[in-house]
Structure 1
Amino acid sequence: MQPVDIVKQIATLRHSPYTELHWIPRTPQRAPGGPSVRQHHAVASRDLGERDWAVIDPMLVRTSKGVRHRFTSAMYFWQRTRSHVWCESQAERWEVLWLDYGGQVERLWTQPMAIAFGHGTRLAGHWHVPDLLAQFTDGSYGLFDVRPAERIDERARMQFDQTAKVCDTLGWHYQVLTGHDPLATQNLDCLSASRHDRCKPAPEVEVLILGAAWGGKMRGELCRIASPACPPLACAWVDNLAWRHLLHVDLAAAFSSDTVYTTLERIPGEGQPDV
């Protein structure tokens, strides 16, 4: 479905005085040139918030300006569901990266639905497509909007406040993601290259690395310990353990082979004497 078709449907279906949710149900792939998928819509309520939102398709209403904004929309691989999350901007990609690292989100969708505000709200007649829908590890849902702090004006603040009220009605979480320390984000981006299962060390190597890191050890040293014959081979193993929070690293500091990694729990019999 083209973005303009979605916008027309939202406008056509705005017949209720109440705040509504509009979404696209997941259907088999339609043939090129076939009929558009009809949106579903319903008044925002606690019952609506408890439905299975995993069976929807993203709306993808907006399109990136690409090079004009120094970013071409990209797909972020979400390993927990082995699917891709569409990111419209670099800011969205960074926030998806941090959500992935946080480990509290099980599933993630981009631009999942439209919220059409009712007559009793300050945004009556307007609609808003939140940036992200998350299903958390405890099964609950939540919406995220991405906006750098310096770009949140009075209009955006009003929109976010009304979206928060809708989420409260649905029984969902809501948060505006405003960015992170740039250096920490760049460091996390480096670690994320080793987040995939193929970068996990063998169990005996994992124990060796964690034991050696008790009390703190530089990244380069850990690589030499894990793979004496070829230390660069172990870089992905060490970074994978940091991504999985088995090793602690200060993301706000400069990242290099001298970066100190520390295990949070001592591994008896490895690296330190057992007492």
Structure 2
Amino acid sequence: MDEVAGGLPVREFRWYRGRKHYSGWYHASTTGRMVAYESRLELARILIADFASEVTEIAAQPFQLVGPDGGRIRRHVPDLFLVHAGGLVTVVDVKAPSRMKDPKVIAQFDWTRQACSRRGWIYETWSGAEPAVVENVRFLAGYRRRDLVENSLIARVLAAAAGQPTIGGIEAALAGQPCEIVRPVVLHLIWSGRLVADLRAPLNRASRIRVAA
């Protein structure tokens, strides 16, 4: 499992003018390594995995499954391989909502689910999440690196959050510090899970916030 989680993608990624899909590499704070993606939708699922505190490893295009499926030999490379605290594994295939009911896609999903089940792995098919949540996680990812925020304020922000119910309240409690320094610390602490906010609405000064249990 460690070899799979820490390995390179099993297929080559190509970039060229006119390509319909948006591909690239994302630096995951969970692992400290680059994770490849082949579409914005796939990037969104990687961001959500990187944000989830229970995920400890993220790998893209981690392996190729090969095996019989009725009278044919099927080959498939899943999109993501996630390892959770405690060793639980989730294999993820990302597909656009418009393709989720395609019979060929459904057949591939069913075959992959059976292959994962035999190894005791969870299999997930993902076509998106609540837009506000995805956009908030995408925004918070810009503050995922601790070395880019004012670390000396972390303890003070957490102390202020214990008595203030909103982001604006925390900033007011630290009025001696510029907002442009305090706000990134607050957002980093939400990303890292030390502060909790409702991500179903856009984050702003009025967003309610609490210290994680």
TM-score by length of 2: 0.85
CA distance in 2, matches of 1:171, 1:229: 51
Per the alignment, residue 8 of structure 2 pairs with 57
Instruction: Specify the alignment match of 1:135 in structure 2.
Output: 83
Q: CA RMSD in A?
A: 2.6
Give 1:231's aligned residue.
Answer: 179
Deviations 1:232-253 (A, max 9, x none): 1111110011112222211111
Conserved 8 A contact 1:65-1:72:
no
1:157 corresponds to which letter in structure 2?
I
Stretches of structure 1 that go unaligned for 5 or more consecutive residues are: 1-49, 266-275
Aligned to 1:261, which of 199, 209, 213?
Answer: 209
1:187 to 136, 160, 179: 136
For structure 2, which runs of at least 5 residues remain unmatched after alignment? none
TM-score by length of 1: 0.68
**For residue 169 of structure 2, what is the aligned residue in structure 1?**
221
CA distance in 2 between counterparts of 1:178 and 1:64 reads 23
- AA aligned to 1:213 is A
Using the TM superposition, give the Cα deviation of residue 149 of structure 1 relative to its aligned residue in structure 2, in angstroms: 3.4
- Offset, 1:65: 6.7
| Runs of 4+ residues over 6 Å off in structure 1 | none
For residue 166 of structure 1, give the secondary structure of its aligned residue in structure 2: helix
Secondary structure in 2 aligned to 1:57? coil
Per-residue CA shift, 1:126-183, capped at 9, x if unaligned? Answer: 3111111223322343311111334212221111111011111222222112211112
- Aligned-partner SS, 1:217: coil
2:147 maps to 1:198:
yes
1:93 shift after superposition: 0.3
Say if 1:144 and 1:174, in contact at 8 Å, map to a contact too.
yes
Change (3 A) 1:235 1:185: same
Residues 41-74 of structure 1 deviation map (CA, whole Å, 9 limit, x = unaligned): xxxxxxxxx68434643122564676553x5311
Alignment of 1:92-171 (within 5 A): 92-118=42-68, 121-122=69-70, 124-152=72-100, 153-171=102-120
CA distance in 2, matches of 1:206, 1:234: 9
Aligned partner (choices 63, 77, 84) of residue 34 of structure 2: 84
Larger Rg: 1
C-alpha separation in 1, matches of 2:43 and 2:165? 31
Counterpart AA for 2:208: V
> Is the CA contact 1:224–1:230 (under 8 Å) kept in the aligned structure 2?
no
SS of match in other structure, 1:125: strand
Q: What's the % identity of the aligned pairs? A: 24
SS at match of 2:86: coil
Give secondary structure in 1 for the equivalent of 2:73: coil
Distance 1:233 1:113, change over 3 A: same
Deviation at 1:220, TM superposition (A): 3.0
